[in-house]
Amino acid sequence: MTTPKFAQIKQFIVDKIRSATWQENQRVPSENELASQFSVSRMTARRALSELTEAGILTRSQGLGTFVATFKSQSSLLEIKNIADEVKERNGNYTCNVLILESINAVAPIAIALGVEIDSVVYRSVLVHNENDSPLQLEERFVNPALASGYLQQDFTALTPHEYLSSVAPLTQARHTVEAIMPNSEMCQWLNLYNEEPCLQVIRRTWSIHGIVSFARLVSPGSKYRLGGHLTFKK
């Protein structure tokens, strides 16, 4: 099957960035230039640039052109996205290391966060999400067994906790808190941080129609990750 022209253009741009031929913040060819180079319509070239912009690989500036984005990964604070999908949208290779998968008795803060009784059994997982074999995010998650009874039986190298929980307890609501932190020694070890650096921590609780599903702490090195979003206001 012949690869569509817009996909060929996307691969061409990604290859230039991966090989470091094009550096971050460097201007890339315009729609007209790409259309001429690949003998396609301007609309086809625009589609390629638009899809790479939406994936965070490129950034567009009105009147100036299209540029290679900075190499920090970006997640939206306005929606819950599956981290594996985020990595794949950037044409990265996603992998996961499962560090801990266990049942524990909920201490008071965890019990309150999940809306369960103190000392009741809850599930805990600790994972490291990787992009191109480099640690991108540490995820510690506590799960309500009543809403996800098969959690500990899942292979989280094959699917993410977000994917599993979305299938058994579809998300209806989420709340975030975001702050900058200095990682402790354990976090540094898990994230392969040899030089201590500030990290971005997101605390997130998610609900389904039946109650609180999970309470998670997501920690990412500040040099690799950022949060962003786009709002459109109706007049």
**pLDDT tens string 123-161:** 999 999 999 999 999 999 999 999 999 999 999 999 999
pLDDT at residue 20 above 70?
Answer: yes
Q: Over 70: is that where the pLDDT of 72 sits? A: no
Query: What pLDDT is recorded for position 135?
Result: 93
pLDDT reading at 232 higher than 80: no
pLDDT at 194: 80
Helix (H) or strand (E) holding 108: helix 108-114
**pLDDT averaged over every residue in the chain:** 86
104 compared with 71, residue with greater pLDDT = 104
Average pLDDT value for residue range 18-47: 90
Residue 76 has pLDDT above 60, yes or no: no
Q: Which residue has the tokens 């638009």?
A: 50
* Distance (Å, whole) CA 41 – CA 162: 39
- Work out the average pLDDT over 187-205: 89
Instruction: Find the helix packing angle between 5-18 and 42-54, rounded to 10°.
Output: 50
- Alpha-carbon distance of 175 to 26, in angstroms, equals 37
> What pTM was computed for the model?
0.67
Element (H, E) at 97: strand 94-105
Other residues' Cβ atoms within 10 Å of the Cβ of residue 109:
11
Q: Is the pLDDT of residue 172 over 70?
A: yes
23-27, 42-46, 221-225: which range is least confident on average?
221-225
| pLDDT at position 55 | 65
Q: What are phi and psi of 10, to 5 degrees?
A: -60, -45
Which residue segments constitute the domains of the chain, with CATH numbers given?
5-68 (1.10.10.10), 73-228 (3.40.1410.10)
* Euclidean distance between CA atoms 111 and 134, whole angstroms: 33
Which of 22, 96, 5, 31 is closest to 57 using CA atoms? 22
